[in-house]
Amino acid sequence: MCFAKSHTNTHRMQRIFFWLLLLIILGCSKAEQPSLKPIIIMKTGSYTVNGSKVPPGGRLSFGITASGGGATLTNLLIHRKLGDQVITELDKGIYINEGGLSIDFTAVKGMAEEEDWTFMVMNANRDTAMAQVQVLLGEGSAWGSLLHFESVVLGMQHNGSLPNYLDLHNGMSYTQEQVQGHEAEIDLVAFVYTTGGIISPTLCCPAYSGSSSVTGHYPAIAGWVVRNSTLYDYYTSDNQLISAETFDAAVNDSLLVTAFNPGNVSGLCKYAFAGRVIPFRTEEGKYGLIKVKHADELSDGAIELEIKIQQ
pLDDT value at residue 98:
86
6, exposed or middle or buried, with CB in 10 Å at 0-12, 13-18, 19+?
A: exposed
pLDDT confidence tier of residue 211, bands split at 50, 70 and 90 = confident
Does 2.60.40.650 match the CATH number of domain 39-137?
yes
- pLDDT at 21 > cutoff 60: no
Q: Which residues contact 41 (CB under 8 A, 6 or more apart)?
A: 64, 65, 66, 131
pLDDT averaged over every residue in the chain? 91
- pLDDT at 23 > cutoff 70: no
pLDDT value at residue 300:
98
pLDDT confidence tier of residue 168, bands split at 50, 70 and 90 = very high
- pLDDT at 142 > cutoff 90: yes
DSSP classification of residue 241: -
Q: Which residues contact 242 (CB under 8 A, 6 or more apart)?
A: 236, 255, 259, 277, 279, 289
What single string gives the DSSP state of each residue in 49-61? -TT-EE-TT-EEE
The amino acid present at 94, given as its one-letter code, is I
Measured from the Cβ of residue 102, the count of other Cβ atoms closer than 10 Å reads 11
Buried b (16+ CB within 10 A) or exposed e, 11-41: eeeeeeeeeeeeeeeeeeeeeeeeeeebebe
pLDDT confidence tier of residue 200, bands split at 50, 70 and 90 = very high
Q: pLDDT tens-digit profile of 62-101?
A: 999 999 999 999 999 999 999 999 999 999 999 999 889 9
Q: What is the mean predicted confidence (pLDDT) over 201-227? A: 93
Q: Whose CA is closest to 206, among 233, 243, 179, 170? A: 179
Span of 26-30, 40-44, 153-157 with lowest mean pLDDT: 26-30
- pLDDT at 22 > cutoff 80: no
* Whole-number Å distance between alpha carbons of 264 and 280: 11
pLDDT value at residue 206:
97
pLDDT value at residue 30:
46
Q: What is the mean predicted confidence (pLDDT) over 240-255? A: 97
pLDDT confidence tier of residue 2, bands split at 50, 70 and 90 = very low
* Whole-number Å distance between alpha carbons of 83 and 99: 36
Q: What is the mean predicted confidence (pLDDT) over 9-26? A: 55
pLDDT confidence tier of residue 24, bands split at 50, 70 and 90 = low
Contact yes or no for 308/233 (Cβ under 8 A): no
pLDDT value at residue 210:
74
Q: What is the mean predicted confidence (pLDDT) over 3-17? A: 53
Kindly list the domain boundaries of the chain, sorted by start residue. 39-137, 146-310
